[in-house]
Chain A
Amino acid sequence: MTTPFLVAEKLERRVGDTQILAGIDLSVNKGEVVGLIGPSGSGKSSLLRAIAGLDPLTGGRVLVEGRTPVPGDGTVGMVFQQFNLWPHLTAGENVALALRLVRKMTRVEATERARAMLDRVGLLKLADRRPAQLSGGQQQRVAIARTLAMEPRLILFDEPTASLDPELTTEVLDVIRGLAETGMTMLVVSHEMGFVASVSTRAVFLDHGRVLVEGPAKAVFRDAEEPRLRRFLATYLQRVAWAPDPEPAPAPDPGPLTTFALLQQPGAAEAVPPPAGPEGSTMSLLGLPAASPAAPSGFSLLDPVPDPNQKDPKRGA
């Protein structure tokens, strides 16, 4: 029997009277991409931080390839919602600093590798800019390059696009998708449901510090009957798509390929029957009737997603 790449056993974290993680078990195989979803405050960030070893646990343990990761040991890389770039350094220096100080590369070696990493996220030309001179999406791509440069075994993404304007999320999600295709093992917390559904091998729904639903992305997004999960998805869809409206939706706009765009792909409007009730309607907006295995033609959250920006052949290479 092979042990999984990452094992989290009965993770518990309690601060004062608050049970932040209430006994989480999770195992992830090498090369898997696990999507973590759940309402705000359900413990998604806390789970990632626990796996990275950033926050002390009050119970349980984390093993990556049989060892408990310690921050800085090179096992776990993390990409944060707020990017956490170093504002006094250029993009290139942000990527190169740890290569020099931790990997003990010479300045020339580190600069060269930093440039290669920035090239991989499509930012070679902006290597000399400071974070303040970059857009949010560019900053997040620098942060990803900085993490990749250290070759972690596992990368954790904590809402990497949550503080970006909608038109900037695609460029970041594309980079993450490219990484997934290289076989990198990743845990991704995101509210971009279309992205999570299409990129994850497995989805995990957290609520109140527990795993409520776990399984292949298809099953979690389409078939799960857990009421909290259904309510969570319904709320999400109402926010991200449109208010229930029996009139056909306006003409689709070929915008960024987020869930929003998926929902507005041609044929989407026709595929949407008038809402029957709050939950039924949003489920059918997804084109995923909970009971029926056959999704309506035209679009589906689970269809393979074509990459709209296929002009950068190096990405993910």
Chain B
Amino acid sequence: MDWAFIEEALPPLLRGAVATVWVSLAAIALGFAAGALIAAASTAGSRGLRGAAALYISFFRGVPLLVQLLLAYYALPFAGIDIPAIIAAVGTLGLCCAAYMAEILRGGLATVPPGAVEAARLLGLTRAQTFLRIRLPIAARTMRPAIVGEAIMIMKASSLISLVGIMELTRTSQALASSTFMPLQSYALCGAIYLVINFVLMAIGWDRKRA
């Protein structure tokens, strides 16, 4: 790999990487928020809510992400919903992430001591306040490694949205490979950039106390 190639390839690849990072962060944020709602539903008193949460989780975990993306790509316009492809892609990625986040959160919430919740109840906190201010933060302490793992999965899974035409890192390297006739170098550089991004995530998730 020579410097001339790197100099030519790096600027477009970095632009693609920025797109990948934004798309993934948006999907992770959506996944966490929606996952928290689904986790709340799956531990709710109502049978209907619990059933809906179980259905959601099994659909998004049971159908390949690529199939979900293609469904969104073709089904939404068919249903008369006209939204930009990028929104559909981020939405699908986020909703899929939510199913995994919900499972992580459900496990984490189960470790919250019931006494902490009971104290909140007696002091007059509402259910929503107790969830956001007590249960979620206490659970977050045990869930951090799993959440970082899920964030890394999403960062990598976002390469699939290249197939519905989003110009992110993988798609940019494909374009580069065909325009330069240097596929090996293009994909090697692309892989290295994914690795760097995920190293940053791993560093964020690194728990000094556990190491």
Task: Assign chain B's interface to a size class.
Answer: 10 to 19
Return the contact of A74 from the options B116, B124, B137, B138 (Cβ within 8 A): B124
A73 contacts chain B at the CB level, 8 A cutoff: yes
Contact assessment for A82 and B124 in the assembled complex, using a CB-CB cutoff below 8 Å: no
Of residues 125 through 152 on chain B, the ones whose CB sits less than 8 Å from some CB of chain A are 125-126, 129, 133-134, 137-138, 141
A-side interface mostly: loop
Cα–Cα, bound, A52→B126 (Å): 17
A135 to chain B, nearest CB (A): 18
Q: Nearest residue in B to A83 (C-beta to C-beta)? A: B115
Cα–Cα, bound, A131→B119 (Å): 15
Of residues 75 through 111 on chain A, the ones whose CB sits less than 8 Å from some CB of chain B are 76-78, 80, 82-88, 97-98, 101-102
Contact assessment for B113 and A84 in the assembled complex, using a CB-CB cutoff below 8 Å: yes
What are the residues of chain B within 8 A of A82 when measuring CB–CB?
A: 113, 115
Contact assessment for B133 and A101 in the assembled complex, using a CB-CB cutoff below 8 Å: yes
B32 to chain A, nearest CB (A): 17
B123 contacts chain A at the CB level, 8 A cutoff: yes
Contact assessment for B113 and A72 in the assembled complex, using a CB-CB cutoff below 8 Å: no
Q: Nearest residue in B to A103 (C-beta to C-beta)? A: B124
Total chain A interface residues with beta-carbon distance under 8 A: 25
What are the residues of chain A within 8 A of B133 when measuring CB–CB?
A: 97, 101
A212 contacts chain B at the CB level, 8 A cutoff: no
Return the contact of A71 from the options B115, B122, B134 (Cβ within 8 A): B122
Cα–Cα, bound, A86→B137 (Å): 10
What are the residues of chain B within 8 A of A86 when measuring CB–CB?
A: 116, 119-120, 134, 138
A241 contacts chain B at the CB level, 8 A cutoff: no
Cα–Cα, bound, A101→B130 (Å): 10
Contact assessment for B138 and A88 in the assembled complex, using a CB-CB cutoff below 8 Å: yes
Cα–Cα, bound, A73→B138 (Å): 24
B118 contacts chain A at the CB level, 8 A cutoff: yes
B15 contacts chain A at the CB level, 8 A cutoff: no
Contact assessment for B124 and A84 in the assembled complex, using a CB-CB cutoff below 8 Å: no
Cα–Cα, bound, A77→B113 (Å): 19
B61 contacts chain A at the CB level, 8 A cutoff: no
Contact assessment for A84 and B141 in the assembled complex, using a CB-CB cutoff below 8 Å: no
What are the residues of chain A within 8 A of B134 when measuring CB–CB?
A: 86
Cα–Cα, bound, A74→B118 (Å): 14
Contact assessment for B124 and A98 in the assembled complex, using a CB-CB cutoff below 8 Å: yes
B-side interface mostly: helix
Of residues 103 through 119 on chain B, the ones whose CB sits less than 8 Å from some CB of chain A are 113, 115-116, 118-119
Cα–Cα, bound, A72→B129 (Å): 12
Contact assessment for B138 and A84 in the assembled complex, using a CB-CB cutoff below 8 Å: no
Return the contact of A88 from the options B118, B119, B141 (Cβ within 8 A): B141
A150 contacts chain B at the CB level, 8 A cutoff: yes
B194 to chain A, nearest CB (A): 33
A155 to chain B, nearest CB (A): 11
Query: Can you list, as one digit per residue, whether each of A45-64 has a CB less than 8 Å from chain B (1) or not (0)?
Result: 00000001010000000000
A13 contacts chain B at the CB level, 8 A cutoff: no
B205 to chain A, nearest CB (A): 18
A210 contacts chain B at the CB level, 8 A cutoff: no
Cα–Cα, bound, A72→B138 (Å): 21
Return the contact of A84 from the options B118, B125, B126, B137 (Cβ within 8 A): B118
What are the residues of chain A within 8 A of B138 when measuring CB–CB?
A: 86-88
Query: Can you list, as one digit per residue, whether each of B6-42 has a CB less than 8 Å from chain A (1) or not (0)?
Result: 0000000000000000000000000000000000000
A93 to chain B, nearest CB (A): 10
A146 contacts chain B at the CB level, 8 A cutoff: yes
B47 contacts chain A at the CB level, 8 A cutoff: no
Cα–Cα, bound, A74→B125 (Å): 11
B172 to chain A, nearest CB (A): 41
Return the contact of B115 from the options A72, A84, A88, A102 (Cβ within 8 A): A84
Cα–Cα, bound, A272→B115 (Å): 43
A154 to chain B, nearest CB (A): 12
Binding site for A on B (CB under 8 A): 113, 115-116, 118-126, 129, 133-134, 137-138, 141
Q: List 21 A-B contacts (CB under 8 A).
A: A52-B122, A71-B121, A72-B121, A72-B122, A72-B125, A74-B124, A76-B122, A77-B123, A80-B115, A84-B113, A84-B118, A87-B141, A88-B137, A88-B138, A88-B141, A97-B123, A98-B124, A98-B125, A101-B126, A102-B124, A102-B125
Q: Which 5 A-B residue pairings sit nearest by Cβ, starting from the closest?
A: A84-B115, A72-B124, A102-B124, A98-B123, A84-B119
Question: Beyond the given A73-B124, A98-B124, A101-B129, could you list 12 further A-B residue pairs with CB under 8 A, ordered by the A residue number?
Answer: A72-B121, A72-B125, A80-B119, A86-B116, A86-B120, A87-B138, A97-B123, A98-B125, A101-B124, A101-B125, A101-B133, A102-B123
